[in-house]
């Protein structure tokens, strides 16, 4: 992977992670780096799912792929926030 690819993945991950956090109600006790990490993973998995189902082959913006990514980011942020919140309650 090139430097441009890494920077692009971080930027897209931050955007997808932020959108995932916006979808969730309430406050999530996780930091920016965890949000970006969850966003990167959600973007990669969402793209794989969209390509596997054949909905990522459009000429314009792939809205269904973006929806997969945001939903996966929201689920990921909720899971990480729940795990992170329980870890500090001991």
Position 11 in a domain: no
> Do the domain assignments include residue 10?
no
**Count of domains observed in the chain:** 1
Distances (CA, A) of 84 to 68, 78, 87: 24, 10, 5
Percent of the chain residues topping a pLDDT of 70: 92
Tell whether 90 is covered by a domain: no
Q: Per-residue pLDDT for 87 more than 70? A: no
pLDDT of residue 75: 92
* pLDDT one-digit tens code per residue, 37-73: 888 898 888 888 888 888 777 777 788 888 888 899 9
Q: Which domain holds residue 40?
A: 30-83
CA distance to 19, 29, 33, per residue, from 22 (Å): 5, 13, 16
CA-nearest of 22, 16, 18, 19 to 32 is 18
d(Cα 75, Cα 67) in Å, to the nearest integer? Answer: 12
Largest CA distance in the chain: 51
């Amino acid at each position: 992977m090139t430097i441009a690819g890494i920077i692009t993945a971080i930027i897209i991950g931050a955007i997808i992670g932020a959108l995932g956090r916006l979808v969730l109600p309430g406050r999530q006790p996780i930091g920016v780096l965890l949000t970006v990490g969850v966003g990167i993973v959600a973007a990669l998995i969402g793209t794989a799912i969209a390509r596997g189902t054949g909905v990522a082959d459009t000429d314009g913006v792939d809205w269904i792929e973006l929806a997969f990514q945001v939903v996966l980011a929201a689920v990921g942020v909720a899971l990480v926030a729940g795990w992170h919140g329980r870890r500090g309650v001991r």
